[in-house]
Structure 1
Amino acid sequence: MPDIHVSAAVISDDAGRVLVVRKHGTVRFMQPGGKPEAGETAAQTLIRELHEELGVLLEESALEPLGRFVSAAANEPGHRVVAEAFATSIDPDAVTVQAELAELRWITRDDVADLPLAPLSLDHLLPIAWVRTSPAGR
C-alpha cells in the first residue's frame, strides 16, 4: 500500500473545540495540513500549509510534536497516510478558508457522530485532542 507523507495539526481553541477542514471535491473532514515540499521538515511543512490554507502564520515554537501516526488515506483509495502531527491553539477568528479548502468547522466530541471524518482524524488525532481539551487535560 503506497504511503502519503503529511504534516497535520491538532488545533484547539479556548472553548475546547478542535478545528477540522474539508478540501474541495471531498466529503471527509480532517485535520489541516498537507504534503511536504522538497527539503522541508515536518514542522516547516505544517507552518506553510496552515498559512496557505487558513491564513495563519505560526512560529515553530508554537507547535507541540505529538508523534507519527499511520492510517488509511481518506481521499486516495488504496493508499495510507503517514502523518507527523503537532498540536497548537489558535483564535477561531484568526482562521479563514483559503487555497484548496472548501469548509472548516470547530467541533466538539458531540459533533463526531454526525460528521464524515478521515480515518486518521477519527482513529488517532481527535482522541488525542479530546484528552488535551478536557478540563483534566489542560
Structure 2
Amino acid sequence: MIDKVAWLHVQDGRVLCARSQGKDTYYVPGGKREPGETDVDTLVREIREELSVEIDASTALFVGVFEAQAHGRAEGETVRMTCYTAAFAGEPAPASEIAELAWLTTTDADRVSPVTRVIFAHLHEAGLLA
C-alpha cells in the first residue's frame, strides 16, 4: 500500500492536476508522508515543493480517503490517497519533479491515474466536478 496525502483544488467544475517529468499521466498534487508528519504537515510540504504555493494549514478540510490500483505498479499494489481542500497563497506553478499543471474534468478520465479517476467520480457525484 502506497500511502499519500493530496490537495484537491477545485475551481469552476475543474480540478487542478499535475504531471511529473517523463510521465504521461496526471495526478492530484500531493505525496508521501515523511516520518513524524501529520496529514496536514505532508500536505503543506508537498504542495509547496510541487506547486510553489503555501497551503494555509488552518483551513485544511478533510474530503475523504480513496484507494485504487497504483498506476505503473505491479498488479495488486494499491495507493491510498487521503485528500484535503485548503486555502492557499500564491499562484500554482510546476516545481520540483512537476512538468505541467492542467485543469481537468471527468471527460479527462483517460489522462489520469486510477485513484484520480475514483476521486473524480466522488467530486462529480458531489456536484463539484464537470
Taking structure 2 as the reference length, the TM-score comes to 0.85
Distance 1:89 1:43 in 2: 12
Distance 1:46 1:132 in 2: 24
**Where does 1:66-77 land on structure 2 (aligned, <5 Å)?**
66-77=63-74
**Where does 1:18-57 land on structure 2 (aligned, <5 Å)?**
18-57=15-54
Q: 2:4 maps to which residue?
A: 6
Distance 2:93 2:102 in 1: 11
Q: CA deviation at 1:99?
A: 0.4
Q: CA deviation at 1:77?
A: 2.8
Q: Which runs of 4 or more aligned residues in structure 1 lie more than 3 Å from their structure 2 counterparts after TM superposition? A: 88-91
Distance 2:121 2:3 in 1: 21
Q: CA deviation at 1:89?
A: 5.6
Q: Matched residue of 1:47: which SS?
A: helix
Is the CA contact 1:67–1:84 (under 8 Å) kept in the aligned structure 2?
yes
* Corresponding residue pairs, total: 128
Q: Matched residue of 2:96: which SS?
A: coil
Q: 2:84 maps to which residue?
A: 86
Q: Aligned-pair RMSD on alpha carbons?
A: 2.2
Is the CA contact 1:5–1:81 (under 8 Å) kept in the aligned structure 2?
yes
Distance 1:22 1:98 in 2: 11
Matched, 1:133 2:106: no
Q: 2:98 maps to which residue?
A: 101
Distance 1:64 1:132 in 2: 17
Where do 5+ consecutive residues of structure 1 fail to align?
A: none
Q: Identity rate of aligned residues, in percent?
A: 29
Cα deviation code 1:24-73 (max 9, x no counterpart): 12211110000011100111101110000001101222221022222111
